[in-house]
């Protein structure tokens, strides 16, 4: 059976005590750190860049999953890889030459991901699905944490699962935005492989127990 991954989003951590929150994730059952890079152009907010990623890399004992919500991401791929990124995800909507950008990421040795905004249909990936290591479905509009899950992301996950399976692609399906204990099981059932969770983890009374609960869900398939 496929075992899913859980990737807490550092965006929802306490930046004044970042080291402590990194250590909390280190000591949990989480699989990856999800790091949201925003540039004030592709999305309204500005978060952090490669220097903070590098600082987190020094403390993290799990792979860094770097989600680039920036325009012209191809200019910075080498920098984020050097800063310690294990997965680098770019937005479909920010990449007119996506095939080239995906291979640029792979050439650095990182895993290459592509993210889709909520309105971007899955079928647009038909001709690239065999090249990518991960597809990140945005289940909120990118730009900030703590938003409500967009329900349409559930049938969209199923559609993407079907595309990946019929094409024999190895791409992981990552769901990002509004994910928590209330919808994790349904998402896994729909075919998700990686659950990103920001506020549902860091705003919880017991973040480590919440991560454990997110890991404990299982997708049960009817054959």
Phi/psi of residue 37, nearest 5 degrees: -100, 120
Closer by beta carbon to Zn ion, 46 or else 127: 46
Query: Given 31, 36, 65, 133, which residue is catalytic?
Result: 36
Q: Which does 207 bind (CB under 5 to 8 A by kind): ligand DX5, Zn ion, none?
A: none
Q: Which residues bind ligand DX5 (CB under 6 A)?
A: 9, 11-12, 34, 36, 67, 140, 142-147, 176-179, 196-200
Q: How many CB atoms lie within 10 A of CB 186?
A: 15
* 21 counts as binding Zn ion under rule CB under 5 A: no
Q: Which of 39, 65, 176, 193 is catalytic?
A: 176
Q: Give least dist CB 36 to Zn ion, A.
A: 4
Residue 8 binds which entry of ligand DX5, Zn ion, none, with Cβ cut-offs from 5 to 8 Å by kind? none
Is 36 an annotated catalytic residue? yes
Which positions ≥6 away from 16 have C-beta within 8 Å?
Answer: none
Taking Cα atoms as reference points, which of 65, 69, 39, 71 lies closest to residue 53?
Answer: 65
CB 113 within 8 A of CB 132: yes
- Examine the residue annotation and report whether 131 is marked as an active-site residue of this protein: no
CA distance 24 to 3: 22
Q: Could you give the residue numbers annotated as active site?
A: 36, 176
């Amino acid at each position: 059976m496929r075992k899913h991954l859980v990737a807490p989003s550092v965006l929802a951590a306490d930046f004044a005590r970042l080291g402590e929150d990194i250590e909390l994730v280190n000591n949990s059952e989480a699989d990856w750190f999800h790091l949201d890079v925003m540039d004030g152009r592709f999305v309204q907010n500005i978060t952090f860049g490669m220097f903070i990623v590098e600082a987190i890399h020094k403390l993290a004992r799990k792979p860094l999953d770097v989600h680039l919500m920036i325009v012209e991401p191809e200019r910075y791929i080498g920098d984020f890889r050097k800063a310690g990124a294990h997965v680098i995800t770019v937005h479909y909507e920010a990449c007119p030459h996506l095939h080239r950008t995906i291979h640029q990421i792979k050439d650095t040795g990182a895993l290459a991901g592509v993210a889709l905004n909520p309105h971007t249909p899955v079928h647009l990936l038909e001709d690239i699905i065999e090249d990518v290591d991960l597809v990140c479905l945005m289940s909120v509009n990118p730009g900030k944490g703590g938003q409500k899950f967009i329900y349409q992301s559930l049938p969209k996950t199923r559609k993407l699962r079907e595309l990946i399976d019929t094409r024999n692609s190895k791409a992981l399906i990552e769901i990002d935005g509004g994910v928590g204990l209330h919808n994790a099981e349904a998402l896994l059932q729909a075919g998700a492989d990686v659950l990103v969770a920001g506020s549902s983890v860091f705003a919880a009374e017991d973040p480590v127990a919440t991560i454990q609960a997110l890991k404990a869900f299982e997708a049960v398939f009817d054959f």
